[in-house]
């Protein structure tokens, strides 16, 4: 529904409509790619979810509901399992390193 709300609120011209669709497609491809691209300019956006965050949603089906921005997950605590998992993975990487 967020996709259509953006169109209804922001797209009063066909060029804006195509720009919105293009940006949302790029973002959707990024989060569903399964790759955390290091130099991805989208990672510069504060609270951007990215593929690592979204992949956990598909792996666990509980939490990490945000497809773009993570602040709602942080506010409502639906990312608690992801945060614990991510911290555990960082410790494993540090040990195997």
Mind spelling out the 3-state secondary structure of 21-50? HHHHHHHHHHHHCCCCCCCCHHHHCCCECH
Taking only the tens place, the pLDDT of each residue in 32-71 is 888 888 888 888 888 888 888 888 888 887 787 777 788 8
Contact 56/64 with Cβ under 8 angstroms?
Answer: yes
Residue that is written with structure tokens 């921005």 in the block: 69
Domains of the chain by residue range: 2-96
3-state secondary structure of 69: strand
This prediction has a pTM of: 0.66
Our CA angle for 41, 29, 38, nearest 5°, is 35
Beta bridge partners of residue 69, listed in sequence order: 48
Summary mean pLDDT of the chain: 83
Percent of the chain, pLDDT > 70?
93
């Amino acid at each position: 529904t967020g996709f259509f709300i953006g169109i209804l609120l922001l797209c009063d011209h066909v060029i804006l409509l195509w720009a919105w669709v293009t940006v949302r497609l790029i973002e959707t491809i990024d989060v569903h790619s399964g790759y955390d691209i290091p130099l991805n300019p989208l990672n510069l956006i504060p609270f951007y979810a990215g593929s690592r965050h979204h992949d956990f949603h598909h792996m666990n089906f509980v939490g990490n509901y945000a497809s773009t921005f993570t602040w709602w997950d942080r506010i409502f605590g639906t990312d608690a399992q992801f945060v614990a998992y991510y911290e555990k993975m960082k410790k494993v990487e540090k040990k195997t390193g």
